[in-house]
Every structure is written in structure tokens, then in C-alpha cells.
Amino acid sequence: MREYKQFYINGEWVDPVTPNELDVINPATEAVCAHISLGSEEDINRAVAAAKSAFQTFGFTSREERLELLESCIAVYQKRYNDVADAIREEMGAPVGLATTAQAHTGLGHLEQAAKVLKDFQFEEDLGPHRVFKEPIGVCGLITPWNWPVNQIACKVAPALAVGCTMVLKPSEVAPLSAYIWTEILDEAGVPAGVFNMVNGDGAVVGTALSRHPDVDMMSFTGSTRAGTLVAQNAAPTVKRVTQELGGKSPNIILDDADLETAVTGGLLHMYNNTGQSCNAPSRMLVPAAKLAEAEEIAKRVTESVVVGDPTQEATTMGPVVSELQYNKIQGLIQAGIDEGAKLVCGGTGRPDGIDSGYFIRPTVFSGVNNEMTIAREEIFGPVLVMIPYETEEEAIAIANDTPYGLAGYVQSGDIDHARKVATRIRAGNVHLNGASGGYDVPFGGYKQSGNGREWGHHGFTDFLEIKAVEGYAA
């Protein structure tokens, strides 16, 4: 049993102002695996004050000092790598392979990328006799989700540290264990007191207090569109910058000239990765109507190859969803698909055969879906794929863009020029051609209600910087 009841404020582990304990549930077993504390507005006030004070010095450190700090973080992270992976497996039921090779690796990847970018990043630019400076924005409030917990922490904290910001992190109270280890890593790496602070808590109390705090200069939020709008509303009275990475309902257009077996297989396996709990999951598969029956057969075969079960076993390829709340929501949406007349190709409601406990979902494929159905409009955030037939390429593009979201898009074609042409028509922040995926240097973010701003790599620095023009600097 993990006991993580303290917060990290001003370089020390401290007790909450008001005790308020919460059980953390292992979703694979439904057993309590840890105890944390939920913070209060008073805890946030202490953390923000520490960050504000620390900015007076850290905001003026040299590139070399911050690069040395990032390299120290990288070294300690490498030492604690397996601890991070174990925590992610326990807190969200990620299969051991996924937790180790993908989830835990993201923390290291973003730290290494931030150090690489920092080495050559241009913080000054001359425009004739004038000089433009890019300066750290100040105190940053960071709110991160449970689905890729360390990824979302690292892609915010690493660039913020790199440019000289100080920060207060509120990780998800649903999956807070890896955040605690992340904090231990930064502490051991020698991050100066007050530069990084961590307070656990829920959105209603801690998230609200952080978002509306007058001494917080920017909010960086990742989570649902609904919660993101609340963060923006709370931040508005103090006119602080707000960047958001929100929901998605990403289309996967399989063009008529694509290899159907490859395209459907790749799309399904990507959808089922992380039990479908990825904001950029290719959850709407658009298939030429004449090939729909064949695509259904492939999808059924691929789905039956997925091994759902104990995330500690190497053979498992898909674990549970993160919580009872998510389980019930997904079950309701699967039932909605059935009730609205979609064809159930495989899967359905209830747990997979042979599994009696844990928040396990049957990997599910619907076909014959139209884009007005609930399962085509709402972000299910589970292992549920909808197959939508189309007659013409123009219709496919129109369906792809007929969503309030715009985080990602996918195009499959046997002709790369054809895929490129269609990609230019998709209104999304990231479009993947023929199964390609970006690296840590590629900007990540969305259009429309999928958010604003960009994270990762060089572009990830921008949101944490203010622009100052000094006219006549060279006079």
C-alpha cells in the first residue's frame, strides 16, 4: 500500500492544511492501492506563493544552468524508470509492456527533447535597431489527466523548466502515483525550492483555485473539453494565458486505393492501444461503402486477437479502463450504439468472457454507423470503434470534418500524393499518413474544441514565453 499523503511545496514534503484522504483504486483489481490527500485553496495559495518567490531568481538563470538541471533530471529519471512504469501499471491498469515501453518512456523523451531544444533555442531576435526578447511567462499552473499521466506532466514541466518558468502541478487524483514519483525525481535532481510544486486534489477545488489565482500567469490544461472550458472561465477575470489540449473524435479515412487489410488492422490496433483512452485515438473509421463488409470481417478478426486481462502478464495487450466512472460511461455508450441501430460487429456490453472483476471492457466494433449517432459524436474514451461507410471521397472528407473536435486525423492510401492531398483538407492539428506517428519534436495540439496552443518540442516552448520588444536597443 502506497501512502502519498503529503504535497511538495517550496522544496519540501508538507502535510495538507486540512486532512482530506482519498483512496486510489487499482482498476484491474478494484482494490485500494494507495492513499493520497486532496488539497484545498490554502494549499494552492502556499504553492503559488513559493513559485512566485522562486521565479524572482529562477526566471533569470542562464541557459547553461537550466540545461544542467534538465540533464540532472534525465539522469535521475533513468534511475527511477522502472518505478515510474510500475506506478502507471498500478494506477491505470496499463499492461506491463505498454507501461514500460511507451508510457514511462514519454517522461524521459520529453526531458531529453527539451534539453535538445534548449541548446540552440533563440531567446533574442534583432529587427533593425530593435531587439525582441522571449522571456519566461512566470508562474504556471499545470493540470494533467490520468490517461497518459507522465507524458502530460513531462510535456508541460520540461519546457517550462527549460525556459525559466516556475510552476504548480495538479495531477489527476484518479492516477496520481506516477506524479508522486516524478516529483521525487525532480527533488533528487536538485530542482531549486519553489520552482516545481505539486498539490493533489480535484478539479472543483484545487483546479479552480489554481486557475483563478491572480499570481498564476498562465494555465496549461489537458483533459476533457468540458473541464477545459471551466478552466478558461476561471482564468478569464485575471486575463492569464490559457492553453488547452482537450478531447477528440478523430477520423481515420481509408481511401479506395488503400490496402484494406493493412489499413483496418493498423487502425484497430491503434484504437485499442491504451484501452482506447487516448484523446487522439482514430475512433471513427471511414470505409468505402463497397468494401464495408470486407472491412468488418478484418475488424472482427483483429479484435478477437486482442488479449484482455491482467496487466502484470506479458501476454496481455489490453488492460482495464481507469475507473468505475469510465466503465459505466462506456457501457452506456455501447448500449446507445445498439439502441440507435448500429450493427454490432463484435464486443458489446459487459466484461469480456472469463473476467468477473476489474473495469475491463469488451473491445467493440460498430458498423453501418452514420455521423449523427451518439457513438459517432461523443468521445467514448474506451476500446470502441465506429465504422462509417462513404460513397465518394468528398463525402469522406465532409464526414471527417463534421465534428466539434479537431485534434487528429488519419489517412490511408496506396498513393502518398493522394494521401497528402486529402490531409490538406482535414481540419485537425495532427494528421497521420499511412500509420506514421510523430516524434517528441513534432507539435501536438488541436483545432476547434480540441484546444489551443501546441505542446512538444520547439513549439512546446512558445506557450511558456512572453514577447518583449525593446525599441532602439542597438542605438
Q: What is the mean pLDDT of the chain?
A: 98
Whether residue 89 sits in one domain with residue 44? yes
Give mean pLDDT, residues 392-412.
Answer: 98
> Residue 5: pLDDT above 80?
yes
Contacts of 147 (CB under 8 A, 6+ apart): 92, 274, 277, 278, 279, 322, 381
Residue 331 lies in a domain: yes
Give mean pLDDT, residues 186-210.
Answer: 98
Residue 88 lies in a domain: yes
Question: Is the pTM above the cut of 0.85?
Answer: yes
Whether residue 137 sits in one domain with residue 197? yes
Domain encompassing residue 52: 2-246+449-470
Q: How confident is the model at residue 227 (pLDDT cuts 50, 70, 90)?
A: very high
**Per-residue b or e along 380-408, where b marks 16 or more CB atoms closer than 10 Å to that residue's CB:** bbbbbbbbbbbeebeebbebbbebebbbb
Q: Could you tell me if 418 and 401 are in contact, meaning their C-beta atoms sit under 8 angstroms apart? A: no
Contacts of 68 (CB under 8 A, 6+ apart): none
Whether residue 256 sits in one domain with residue 242? no
Q: What is the pLDDT of residue 475?
A: 74
Q: What is the pLDDT of residue 10?
A: 98
Please report, rounded to a whole number, the percentage of residues in the chain having pLDDT higher than 70: 100
Please report, rounded to a whole number, the percentage of residues in the chain having pLDDT higher than 90: 99
**Cell (9 digits) for 322:** 481507469
**Cell (9 digits) for 256:** 479506395
Residue 12 lies in a domain: yes
Give mean pLDDT, residues 215-241.
Answer: 97
pLDDT digits (tens, 9 = 90+) for 138-163: 999 999 999 999 999 999 999 999 99
To which residue does cell 484494406 refer?
260
Catalytic residue, candidates 279, 296, 346, 455 = 279
* H or E stretch covering 227: helix 225-235
* H or E stretch covering 228: helix 225-235
Q: How confident is the model at residue 283 (pLDDT cuts 50, 70, 90)?
A: very high
Whether residue 363 sits in one domain with residue 218? no
Residue 319 lies in a domain: yes
Catalytic residue, candidates 245, 296, 379, 455 = 245
Residue 475 lies in a domain: no
Whether residue 466 sits in one domain with residue 367? no
Note if 245 is an active site residue.
yes
CATH number of the domain where residue 345 is located: 3.40.309.10
How many separate domains does the chain show? 2
Give mean pLDDT, residues 307-327.
Answer: 97
Q: What is the pLDDT of residue 194?
A: 98
Note if 279 is an active site residue.
yes
* DSSP letter assigned to residue 83: H
- Taking CA atoms, 268 is separated from 7, 271, 341, in Å, by 40, 5, 22
